[in-house]
Structures are given as structure tokens and as C-alpha cells.
Amino acid sequence: MERKFSIITDTGSDLPASYYAEHGLEEIPLGFTMDGTLYGGEEGGSMDVGEFYAKLRGGSMPKTFQATPEQARAHFEAHAAKGEDVLVIAFSSGLSGTCNSYQIAAKEIMERYPASKIEVVDSLCASLGQGLLVDYVVKKADAGATLEETAAYARSLVPHMCHFFTVEDLYHLKRGGRVSKTTAFVGTVLKIKPVLHVDDAGHLINIGKAMGRKKSISALVDKMKSLATLGEDDPIFISHGDCIGDVNYLIGLIQNSFGEREIFVSDIGPVIGTHSGAGTLAVFFRGEHR
């Protein structure tokens, strides 16, 4: 069935370019600087994700920046000028001001083009948690739902988009204020790995710890067992910061507990990877609550 409106999201979703092409989505590129060079945004260059993590492991310290209202306005107006309605799935307002920029731009464009509708949904999600929400939205829209129906559906799903992840290196969480300097030092020495999630307000929260990498990965599956509400058509998404071996280990644990299921895997891109670091491993699924 023909989709009735356009869908836009941003690189905070960590969806690969192939997904955008296959599903006819538009991407707003968030940006970062690394070693004095601008990447992403509307004017920056591009960097292969493998190169990004190699530089990160080598000591480079990137810095991210949010989308601006001006950047969003250009994307929205291109559709409004053609009389097209738009649904925007935004990176969590709990982690970035990007969603607010979208809301400002949407209001301005709808005032300029009164016949056009732009719905901005705050995903309160990050990485493939946002990507998972987009995937549900795409399927709803492709089934013939209206803009209003799909936006309401997206908002109803937001509290059920579960994010659980662990990191290999505590340095980037310390740098971002997610763990203390002492916690990072002791955790590194004792090989204690944190287990974190994104809460109902879209904030990154430390919820536990495990001794060693494999136990921290097992803890992700334990969270799934306690919260997942998966029907036959509900996918599981996994994102990772250059640690594909750990992805395969996690998939094996998931299949042992949940059987053969659709599992979608993608890299954690530079915007999220700046804050989580190399070796981050995350799983996303529909659950009773976050």
C-alpha cells in the first residue's frame, strides 16, 4: 500500500544507509568534530566507521553537535513546498537538543505552508533503539496508516522501546559524566563492566554491573528475559562499537533463550560512539516497559 507521507529521522538512529534506501527514508545528518575536522552535518565530510573507532582507540577525542533549526528547516520545507506531510522521529530530547530544533523548525514551516502537516515524535531513544522505533513506524505507514495514526502509534511505542547495553571501556562514560572518575578507575582495574539503559525520560542510566565482559553480555539477555514482549513479527536490534565477535556471542545467547528470530545488526555510528566508546554492545527490543 502506498505511504501517505514522508518519514524523516536522523543519524542518532544508527540505521545504515542501506536501510534508508530500501525503505525510502530521509536522514538528517548529525555532526561531530575529530582531530580538528568537521564531519557530518550539512557541510562536513564523511568518515568510515572503522576509521572512526581506530582513531578513538588511538586517543582522538571527538565532540558532537546537535541539529540546528536551520538545518531541519531546509529538510522540512523541501517537502512542504510540494504539499507533502512529514513524520519526524527525533533523537532523544534527554540526550540532545536536536528534537527541540525539529519542533522549532516544524512550527515555522507549518506557519509558512498552512496546508502541510509536520509531526515531530520525540523518540526518547538512542542508537538502534531509535532505529527500532523507526522500523515499527515504517511498517505502520506502509500498511496504509495516516500521518496522525502513525504518529500516535509511535508515541504509544516509545515507553516500550527497551535499551540495554554494556561497554568495554569506562573512559568515555566518565568523560560524559555517566560514571565517576573513581568508578571508572576501580572498574577498569577490576574488569567490572557496567550495564546501562535509556530510561523513560530518554536519559542514559547505569543500572548494574558485572564481573567481566561475558557476564555483562549475559546480563543483557537476562534483562530481555524479564521484560521482552515479543510476538512473531517483533524484531530484535543489536548495535555495536566495532566488536562483531561479541555481537555473535550475544546472538547465540539470544537464540538459546528466544529461538530463531529476526535480528538486525548495525554499527554504532560516530555520533553515539563518541559518548559510548569502542566496544559498546547494545540490544533493543519491545518490552513491558523500559
- Write the CATH number of the domain with boundaries 6-158: 3.40.50.10170
Query: In terms of Cα–Cα distance, which of 169, 179, 203, 158 is closest to 274?
Result: 169
Task: Indicate the SS3 state at residue 161.
Answer: strand
Residue 203: exposure state from Cβ atoms within 10 A (0-12, 13-18, ≥19): middle
CB atoms closer than 10 angstroms to residue 179: 22
Q: Which helix (H) or strand (E) holds 285?
A: strand 281-286
Same CATH fold assignment for domains 6-158 and 160-286: no
Q: In the chain, what are the domain boundaries?
A: 6-158, 160-286
Cell of 25: 527514508
In angstroms, rounded to a whole number, what is the distance separating the alpha carbons of residues 167 and 157? 26
Cell of 178: 555517566
Residue 133: exposure state from Cβ atoms within 10 A (0-12, 13-18, ≥19): buried
Q: Provide the residue-wise pLDDT of the chain in tens; the chain has 290 residues.
A: 789 999 999 999 999 999 999 999 999 999 999 999 999 998 999 999 999 999 999 999 999 999 999 999 999 999 999 999 999 999 999 999 999 999 999 999 999 999 999 999 999 999 999 999 999 999 999 999 999 999 999 999 999 999 999 998 767 666 666 566 666 555 565 578 889 999 999 998 888 889 899 999 999 999 999 999 999 999 999 999 999 999 999 999 999 999 999 899 999 999 999 999 999 999 999 999 99
Own/partner pairs, 59-62, CB within 8 angstroms, 24+ separation: 60/34, 60/35, 61/34, 61/175, 62/32, 62/33, 62/34, 62/270, 62/274
In angstroms, rounded to a whole number, what is the distance separating the alpha carbons of residues 232 and 236? 11
CATH class of 160-286: alpha beta
Q: Are 143 and 134 in contact (CB under 8 A)?
A: no
Query: In terms of Cα–Cα distance, which of 188, 185, 252 is closest to 217?
Result: 252
